[in-house]
Structure 1
Amino acid sequence: MSPEIAIDLISESLHLVMLLVTLLVLPGLLVGLLVSLFQAATQINEQTMSFLPKLLVTLLVVGLMGRWMVGSLMDFCVSIFERAATLVG
C-alpha cells in the first residue's frame, strides 16, 4: 500500500467520523447553551435541568438521523472491502 492511498483512506475515515460526531454533539451543545442561559437568568442551579434536555435532544437526533448514520458507515465499510484487493496487492 502506498502512502498516498493510506493518507486518502485515513482522511476519508476521519471526515466521516467528524461528520457523525458533529451531528450528535452540536444539537446537545446548543441545547446546553440555551439551558445555561435560562439557568443564569433565573438563578436556578439544578443539575438535572441541564442534563435531561441534552440527553433528550441527543436521543432525538439518534432516532431521526440514526438510519442515515448507519447507512453512511455501511457505505464506507463496503467501499473499504471493495478496495481491499487493491490496497493489499
Structure 2
Amino acid sequence: MTPEFVIGFAREAIEMTLTIALPMLAIGMVVGLTVSIIQTATQLQEMTLTIVPKIIAIFIALLVAFPWIMDKMVTYTRTLFINLPKYIQ
C-alpha cells in the first residue's frame, strides 16, 4: 500500500460520511436559524424551544433520507468488499 492509496481511501471515506450527514446537518441548521429568529423577534429565550424542533426536524429528515442513505452505504460497502483483494496487495 502506498501513501497515496491510503490518503485516497481515507478521503473517500470522509467524503461518504459528509455526504450522508449533510441532509440532517443542513436541516438542523435551517430549523435552528428559524427558531432563533423567532425567539429574537418574540424575546422568548427558552432552551427547549431551540432543541425540540431541531430533534423533530432531524428525525423526520432521517426518515425521509433513510433509503438514500442506505443505498449509499450499501454501494460503498459493496465496492469496499469487492476491491478488498486489491487493497491487500
Give the alignment of 1:1-80 within 5 angstroms: 1-80=1-80
TM-score, scaled to structure 2: 0.92
**Structure 2: unaligned runs, 5 residues or longer:** none
Counterpart Cα distance in 2 of 1:45 and 1:5: 50
Counterpart Cα distance in 2 of 1:18 and 1:44: 34
Aligned AA (2:64) = L
**Structure 1: unaligned runs, 5 residues or longer:** none
Aligned AA (1:65) = A
TM-score, scaled to structure 1: 0.92
Counterpart Cα distance in 2 of 1:72 and 1:40: 39
- CA positional deviation for 1:2: 2.0
Moved over 3 A (4+): none
- CA positional deviation for 1:7: 1.9
Equivalent pairs, count: 89
